[in-house]
Structure 1
Amino acid sequence: MFSPATRLRRPARPHPGDVLIAVVGLLGGAVLALLGLHMQTGRLFDPPWLPLIPLAVVSGAELLRRSAPQTALVVGTFALVADQFTPGNLATVLMYTDLMYAAVLYGTPAAARRIPVTTFLITVGVTIGFLAWLRDAEAVLIGIVTGLVSFAPALTGVSVRNHRDAAETARLRADQTALLAEMDRVQAVTAERARMARELHDMVANHLSAIAIHSTAALSIDDPATSRDALGVIRENSVDGLAEMRRLIGLLRTGARDAVPSSSPTLASLDALVEQHRTNAASSGLTCTLDDARTDSGRLPAPVELAAYRIVQESLTNALKHAAPGPVTVRLGQTGELLTVEVASVLGDRPGPRAPGSGAGLIGMRERVALLGGEFEAGPAPPDDGRKIWRVRAHLPVTEGSVRE
């Protein structure tokens, strides 16, 4: 058995195509020699079997045309030169042209650039040399033959290699384009899922929070009037939550990505939202008020109005879950191209049932503001009348171009 190091040192097997070329060339040259078909006469070494030696060497070099193309070309060049001192064999010349072609096609980039130039200079040098020696037009034919054997195969190899490299570049570019398209698709799916999660949380969480708090109150307080009021609030929030869920399902079925339906809540609906939370939070000692300090109450871009509404909605839901008894104030203001949304509540413990929180609301609000290119902050604020205050504040650009895709 061979060790891993031995397997690494063992040479690669010849390509099946190279083996086929070598065998066909060797057999073809042998047939030509048996038929007595030689390329030249009157050479230094005239035995008819002698051209078989360069033929065998070139055939062996063909086995290396892919794995070691430059070595194969050097060996083939020496064999071709030796063949010129014998009667010669056409198969030797043909296989040498293939070695020249393979050296350019499969060799290093430097060799692919160097070999065509070298063979061109050799062709020109042979032509000029034989013209100076023979002083006959026959020297031009010798130069043409030299070019056909060396320069023409090298030039063909350059052309094929360029086409191969261009095809490989196109394939890599196509793979890169496909990869980028897949990345865009994944990002789009992720963004859409995040948008759906925000919508689902903001539309349903406040209703479910009110249901949880009032159902706990109805179960823990043995008072028919309190239970009746709690069941009324539970029914109202159940109906509203179901309507919101149906609207979201209808939006998803339309397949309109990033589209804001005409029935989306706007800032004009904040009065009804605050009134609803005032009813839901009455049993918890919370008083909800709306302070709209905008001088211009006209419509803003739909994404801005939807984001502002959802921020107020989620802030009121958080106040219902966590705020201590006291005022919950919603303030709206607009300075130039900037809409300010602020919700403040009393920070502290409170008696009675409370709904658990997951922190997803703050994350969703922060994401909404970031998509509009605004600023968001949530945390304790300076005390008011000795009471600790929790404040949520968002600054939203009101220009259409501020919305990020």
Structure 2
Amino acid sequence: MSPFARPHRHDVLIAVIGLSGGLVLWLAGLHTQNGRLLDAHWVALVPLAVMAGMELLRRSAPQTALVVGTLTLVADQFTTGSLATVLMFTDIMYAAVLYGTPAAARRIPVTTFLVTVAVTIGFLAWFRTAEALLIGVVTGLVSFCPAITGVSVRNHRDAAETARLRADQTALLAEMDRAQAVTAERSRMARELHDMVANHLSAIAIHSTAALSIDDPDTSRDALGVIRQNSVDGLAEMRRLIGLLRAGGGDTRPSAAPTLASLDALVGQAGANSASSGLAVGLTDTREDPGPLPAPVELAAYRIVQESLTNALKHAAPGPVAVRLGGSGNLLTVEVTSVFGSRPGPRAPGSGAGLVGMRERVALLGGTIEAGPVSAGDGTKIWQVRAELPVEERASGK
């Protein structure tokens, strides 16, 4: 802080009180010593005024105030002296440690201690009487004690500032964790919503387009039946998801996550939805141990199959759609293949969010996934989704 900065109001108050107290003592004829070199009573007002002026700098320029204050206190010893001058010096010493630089805060207590010891030994050797010890005690009270007090207050202040910074940092980290948790939860909700509803909406879009474009009552009736079934199923799943999201919702029953045991029903529904598109959906499970797996693995595998069947309904050419489960030990393999190419009839547009969701699910489990066209053994092109999911531990209760 610049020494020319405006003094703090507390410093001004201390200076005014010190100067006023010294004037009262001077008017009352009270002084600390007699028989000095400058014995005129009014001379003691000069050190008093200078020390009061240094009080104005105790916060903005503590080291300057201490140096000038020390010289002023020495000069005061050649006058009749004033108790107010000595008391203001102790405050300047305290302020120099409290508001000064860290180096000054470490150096001043050591210096004042050495000065106190040196003064005590010097006067004791000079006077050779026990009363000389009183001079050392007074020196310690005026210099060393205020310095030690300043160190204690400064340490407490620094500790409080450190605690405040640590609390701010903790709050910032907590806010970052909360934001990351919210983002992760939003991503999870987006994946669940897409995987649960996209299949039904895709079937509705394709069959409604077929019903509008083909002028055949039987075809329209079949399409409307599929549309109605998928609308009812999609609405039920939406209500279940909304019930989970609504705080304090009326439906407090637990919602079971889909498992691999539900794949038969999922494949059957997909086959019914895609029959009019010329797709034949089948499921093959070649796992050595078809027992239950950890819930996150089963949910991810179920959603991967569900999204792959939805994509096949949107884009696959007529032909077989094969769902295969395999793997052994600590690895589960999920593979879905369909004929790659264009097909006649209505198609539902895709956004690419399904593939993103599958990759996110596999990444969360530390697995791998590949999706794209590959060549089959007979030279035809097929679209293949293949995911490998690590299984760290088998689910209990087999």
Tell me which interval the TM-score lies in, with the shorter structure as reference length. Answer: over 0.9
Q: Counterpart of 2:133 in 1: which secondary structure?
A: helix
* Amino acid across the alignment from 1:327: P
CA distance in 1, matches of 2:139, 2:255: 81
* Amino acid across the alignment from 1:287: A
Structure 1 segment 223-302 matched on structure 2, within 5 A: 223-253=216-246, 261=254, 263-302=256-295
CA distance in 1, matches of 2:387, 2:275: 26
Deviations 1:263-314 (A, max 9, x none): 3221111111111111111121211111111122111111111111110000
| Residue in 2 that maps onto 1:155 | 148
Q: Counterpart of 2:381 in 1: which secondary structure?
A: strand
Deviations 1:179-202 (A, max 9, x none): 111111111111111111111110
> 1:380 aligned to 366, 369, 373, which one?
373
CA drift of 1:140 comes to 0.3
CA distance in 1, matches of 2:274, 2:248: 36
Q: Counterpart of 1:235 in 2: which secondary structure?
A: helix
| Residue in 2 that maps onto 1:128 | 121
Superposed CA RMSD in Å reads 1.9
CA drift of 1:261 comes to 4.9
CA drift of 1:10 comes to 9.3
Say if 2:47 is the partner of 1:54: yes
Structure 1 segments unaligned to the other structure (5+ residues): 1-7
* Amino acid across the alignment from 1:110: A
Q: Does the aligned pair in 1 maintain the 2:278–2:319 contact within 8 Å?
A: yes
Change (3 A) 1:10 1:23: closer
Say if 2:36 is the partner of 1:43: yes
CA drift of 1:50 comes to 0.4
Change (3 A) 1:254 1:50: closer
* Amino acid across the alignment from 2:30: L
Say if 2:157 is the partner of 1:143: no
| Residue in 2 that maps onto 1:74 | 67
Say if 2:304 is the partner of 1:311: yes
Q: Counterpart of 1:335 in 2: which secondary structure?
A: coil
CA distance in 1, matches of 2:225, 2:99: 84
| Residue in 1 that maps onto 2:158 | 165
> 1:341 aligned to 334, 354, 360, which one?
334
Deviations 1:332-371 (A, max 9, x none): 0022111000111122111111111111101111111111
CA drift of 1:254 comes to 7.0
Q: Does the aligned pair in 1 maintain the 2:258–2:299 contact within 8 Å?
A: yes
Q: Does the aligned pair in 1 maintain the 2:31–2:80 contact within 8 Å?
A: yes
CA distance in 2, matches of 1:255, 1:190: 22
CA distance in 2, matches of 1:67, 1:348: 81
CA distance in 2, matches of 1:347, 1:37: 109
CA distance in 1, matches of 2:235, 2:391: 31
| Residue in 1 that maps onto 2:10 | 17
* Amino acid across the alignment from 1:200: L
CA distance in 2, matches of 1:277, 1:222: 25
Structure 2 segments unaligned to the other structure (5+ residues): none
Say if 2:84 is the partner of 1:91: yes
Q: Does the aligned pair in 1 maintain the 2:288–2:328 contact within 8 Å?
A: no
| Residue in 1 that maps onto 2:169 | 176
| Residue in 1 that maps onto 2:105 | 112
TM-score by length of 2: 0.95
Say if 2:179 is the partner of 1:186: yes
CA distance in 2, matches of 1:182, 1:190: 12
| Residue in 2 that maps onto 1:394 | 387
| Residue in 2 that maps onto 1:357 | 350
CA distance in 2, matches of 1:382, 1:122: 93
Say if 2:202 is the partner of 1:209: yes
CA distance in 2, matches of 1:268, 1:168: 59
Q: Does the aligned pair in 1 maintain the 2:374–2:381 contact within 8 Å?
A: yes
* Amino acid across the alignment from 2:41: P
Change (3 A) 1:230 1:341: same
CA drift of 1:247 comes to 2.1
* Amino acid across the alignment from 1:231: L
Q: Counterpart of 2:350 in 1: which secondary structure?
A: coil
CA drift of 1:400 comes to 4.7
Q: Counterpart of 1:13 in 2: which secondary structure?
A: coil
| Residue in 2 that maps onto 1:30 | 23
CA distance in 1, matches of 2:44, 2:246: 82
| Residue in 1 that maps onto 2:315 | 322
Equivalent pairs: percent with the same residue?
80
CA drift of 1:214 comes to 0.4
CA drift of 1:47 comes to 0.6
CA distance in 1, matches of 2:54, 2:203: 87
CA distance in 2, matches of 1:336, 1:400: 10
Q: Counterpart of 2:327 in 1: which secondary structure?
A: strand
Q: Which moved more, 1:351-360 or 1:102-111?
A: 351-360
CA drift of 1:255 comes to 7.4
CA distance in 2, matches of 1:384, 1:241: 38
